[in-house]
């Protein structure tokens, strides 16, 4: 059993900088930015001192709204050094979502890029807090957001009422190292240091409170499952604002002193180029990212020979995609990880030496020091091996709770400390788990329980199908009916009858989709999770008409 690390995030980075000062910590390949562990620790200390000079106290909330910029990465470790809680903001958020998060989180500071894609972040902030236009930087008084005092904009352009990143670094020069060390020494591993908002597919998003202890140990155990060491270079194209980026990515690297190679915004060509140019040994991604990379027209021209490991997670991992990543990309030791934000996030992971069957058919077994059990839904009664039920977990990785929401916390974590995930799963005799669906995604058709994952896995084997999502939609006769949303491979054509014919005799009749729609893309969260509830809304409108 791996022993747990009883250390804060800031101290962990400091220790790595002492042990391996000249090892590369951060590489942004496209901007030729390279920091050693010593340089990275120094930059994080300067930013931490700047935040302290702004008057941000231990336990205050600082929101970060940005793509995978170097400043976001520095902020993750700088806030951890001086004790502010980093509140991660989804890059897809718009005004109402941003206002809700800033209000609910009691954030006193927001750090943001001025725009992304076709959205002006700074204009959205001015819309929510018009007082900022005439405010002195650091002295904001907002009617709608009474806690918010500081707005920091990344980049060289100066906006009314705001600080620039350079301002923060310069402010830090007036704070002594002794003051920062004193603050760092006052922090405890069991204190909350990170707050992430759940996707909010049902109801309002909830702020998940994670501690140093949660994140450090989850990152360390993830790294060990990948056999990640200081010799590895991990390409991180998944968003930092999500646990995938800032725990499976950055924290896993720092926990073992590996090199972080972030990609600021996902682009399949940029990812492939980065892996080739920086000789990356690991690559993270959700299935849709790997699908895009594998289907890039120039895929064969890239040298990916250094790839060894990585993680595919975030949504169902199609077997065919997993095999292609192993065989065509050469990531023979790639792993699958499963979890949720409330568990920091990883609960189970496959191991690099697991046979391919386990790595394509399961989400692995519990991480070290993590308990997993499968229970009868709605109860705490454990079911037998091979029997489907709800997956529950207990251990160092379970969140402190939801911010200002004790009712939801008690609904998620029972009196014995078990987190109820809401995911349906089956565990085999060796502890390996297969996720069979979400409790709320299960389709009940005429009294028969249908699990979308099973139909999806079957239809992935159709030679023309690139991606598929199966949902249930209301039906007057059967209660619910099965619907499939299909993306075809480039250049392929098919119709609904052809898909149904493929199913005949191979899966039960009641599982064959009654409705089949073809599409070019799925509605997604910025972290790559497919929003089935939006597919369901669209499907209901289609069927009505």
Q: pLDDT tens, position by position, for the chain (545 residues)?
A: 678 999 999 999 999 999 999 999 999 999 999 999 999 999 999 999 999 999 999 999 999 999 999 999 999 999 999 999 999 998 988 898 899 999 999 999 999 999 998 889 999 999 999 999 999 999 999 999 999 999 999 998 999 999 999 999 999 999 999 999 999 999 999 999 999 998 644 457 899 999 999 999 999 999 999 999 999 999 999 999 999 999 999 999 999 999 999 999 999 999 999 999 999 999 999 888 998 999 999 999 999 999 999 999 876 677 788 889 999 999 999 999 999 999 999 999 999 999 888 888 899 999 999 999 999 988 889 999 999 999 999 999 999 999 999 999 999 999 999 999 999 999 999 999 998 877 777 787 876 777 788 789 889 999 999 999 999 998 887 888 999 999 999 999 999 999 999 998 888 788 899 999 999 999 987 667 788 888 989 999 998 87
* Beta strands, E only, 215-308: 233-236, 259-262, 282-285
DSSP, collapsed to helix, strand or coil, labels residue 499 as helix
Beta bridge partners of 87: 63, 195
The Cβ of residue 275 has, within 10 Å, a number of other Cβ atoms equal to 29
Q: Is 351 left (phi over 0), alpha (psi -120 to 50) or beta?
A: beta
In sequence order, the 6+-apart residues with CB closer than 8 A to the CB of 176 are none
Between 3.40.50.300, 3.40.50.2000, 3.40.50.980, 1.10.1660.10, what CATH number should domain 9-197 receive? 3.40.50.980
Instruction: Estimate to the nearest angstrom the gap between the alpha carbon of 43 and the chain centroid.
Output: 25
- In this structure, the strands spanning 115-116 and 119-120 are antiparallel
- C-alpha angle 179/183/184, rounded to 5°? 115
Strand boundaries in 376-532, DSSP class E? 389-395, 401-402, 419-427, 433-438, 443-445, 448-450, 465-475, 479-488, 515-518
The span from the CA of 526 to the CA of 545, in Å, is: 30
**Whole-angstrom Cα distance, residue 457 to residue 305?**
29
What is the C-alpha separation between 464 and 422, in angstroms, rounded? 32
Q: What is the pLDDT of residues 178-202, one digit of tens each?
A: 999 999 999 999 999 999 998 644 4
Work out the number of other CB atoms within 10 angstroms of the CB of residue 115.
13
For residues 408 and 399, the answer to whether their CB atoms sit within 8 Å is no
pTM (predicted TM-score): 0.85
The number of helices, as runs of H, and strands, as runs of E, in the chain is: 18, 28
- Bridge partners (DSSP) of residue 23 are none
Distance CA 329, CA 456 (A): 23
**Integer Cα distance of 152 and 148 in angstroms:** 12
Q: What sign results for the dihedral spanned by CA atoms 365, 366, 369, 375?
A: negative
- Residue 456 and residue 470 in contact, taking contact as beta carbons nearer than 8 Å: yes
In CATH terms, the superfamily for domain 444-544 is: ANL, C-terminal domain (3.30.300.30)
Within a 13 Å sphere around the CA of 13, how many CA atoms are in the beta-carbon half? 31
49 close to 172: Cβ distance less than 8 angstroms = yes
Q: Identify each DSSP E strand in 263-418 by its residue range.
A: 282-285, 309-312, 335-339, 346-349, 365-366, 370-375, 389-395, 401-402
Residue 299's pLDDT is 98
Distance CA 423, CA 339 (A): 10
Q: Which fold has domain 364-440?
A: Luciferase; domain 3 (2.30.38)
3-state helix, strand, coil in the chain (%, to 5): 35, 25, 40
Q: What is the pLDDT of residues 250-275, one digit of tens each?
A: 999 999 999 999 999 999 999 999 99
Domain residue limits, the chain: 9-197, 364-440, 444-544
């Amino acid at each position: 059993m791996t022993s747990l690390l009883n250390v804060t995030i800031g101290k962990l980075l400091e220790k790595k900088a002492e042990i391996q000062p000249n090892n590369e910590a951060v590489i942004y390949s496209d901007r030729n930015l390279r920091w050693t562990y010593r340089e990275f620790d120094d930059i994080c200390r300067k930013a931490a001192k700047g935040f302290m000079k702004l008057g941000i106290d231990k336990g205050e909330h600082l929101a970060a709204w940005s793509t995978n910029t170097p400043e976001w990465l520095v902020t993750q470790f700088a806030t951890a050094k001086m004790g502010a809680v980093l509140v991660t903001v989804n890059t897809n958020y718009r005004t109402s979502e941003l206002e809700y998060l800033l209000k609910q989180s009691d954030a006193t500071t927001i750090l943001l890029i001025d725009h992304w894609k076709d959205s002006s972040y700074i204009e959205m902030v001015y819309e929510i807090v018009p007082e900022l236009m005439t405010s002195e930087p650091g002295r904001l008084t907002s009617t709608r957001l009474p806690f918010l005092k500081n707005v920091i904009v990344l980049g060289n352009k100066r906006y009314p009422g705001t600080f620039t990143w350079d301002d923060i670094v310069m402010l830090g020069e007036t704070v002594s190292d002794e003051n920062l060390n004193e603050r760092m020494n006052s922090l405890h591993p069991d204190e909350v240091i990170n707050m992430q908002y759940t996707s909010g597919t049902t109801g309002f998003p909830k702020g998940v409170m994670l501690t140093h202890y949660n994140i450090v140990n989850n990152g360390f155990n993830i790294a060990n499952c990948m056999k990640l060491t200081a010799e590895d270079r991990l390409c991180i194209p998944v968003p930092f604002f999500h646990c995938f980026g800032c725990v499976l990515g950055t924290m896993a690297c720092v926990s073992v002193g590996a090199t972080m190679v972030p990609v600021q915004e996902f682009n399949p060509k940029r990812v492939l180029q980065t892996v080739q140019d920086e000789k990356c040994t690991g690559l993270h991604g959700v299935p849709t990212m790997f699908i895009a990379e594998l289907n890039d027209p120039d895929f064969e021209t890239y040298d990916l020979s250094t790839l060894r490991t990585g993680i595919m997670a975030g949504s169902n991992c199609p077997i065919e995609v997993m095999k292609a990543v192993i065989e065509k990309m050469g990531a023979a030791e790639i792993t699958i990880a499963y979890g949720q934000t409330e568990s920091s996030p990883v609960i189970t992971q496959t191991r690099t030496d697991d046979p391919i069957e386990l790595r394509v058919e399961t989400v692995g077994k519990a991480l070290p020091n993590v308990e997993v059990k499968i229970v009868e839904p709605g109860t705490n009664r454990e079911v037998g091996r091979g029997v489907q039920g709800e997956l529950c977990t207990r251990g160092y990785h379970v969140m402190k709770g939801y911010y200002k929401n004790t009712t939801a916390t008690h609904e998620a974590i029972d009196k014995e400390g078990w987190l109820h995930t809401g995911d349906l799963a089956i565990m085999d005799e060796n502890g390996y788990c297969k996720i069979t669906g979400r409790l709320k995604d299960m389709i009940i058709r005429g009294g028969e329980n249908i699990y979308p994952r099973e139909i999806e896995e079957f239809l992935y084997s159709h030679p023309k199908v690139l991606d598929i999502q199966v949902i249930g939609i209301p039906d007057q006769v059967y209660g619910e009916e099965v619907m499939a949303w299909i993306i075809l491979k480039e250049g392929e054509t098919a119709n609904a009858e052809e898909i149904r014919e493929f199913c005949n005799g191979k899966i039960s009749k009641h599982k064959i989709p009654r409705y089949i729609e073809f599409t070019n893309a799925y509605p997604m969260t910025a972290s790559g999770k497919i929003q089935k509830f939006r597919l369901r809304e669209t499907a209901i409108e289609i069927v009505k008409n």
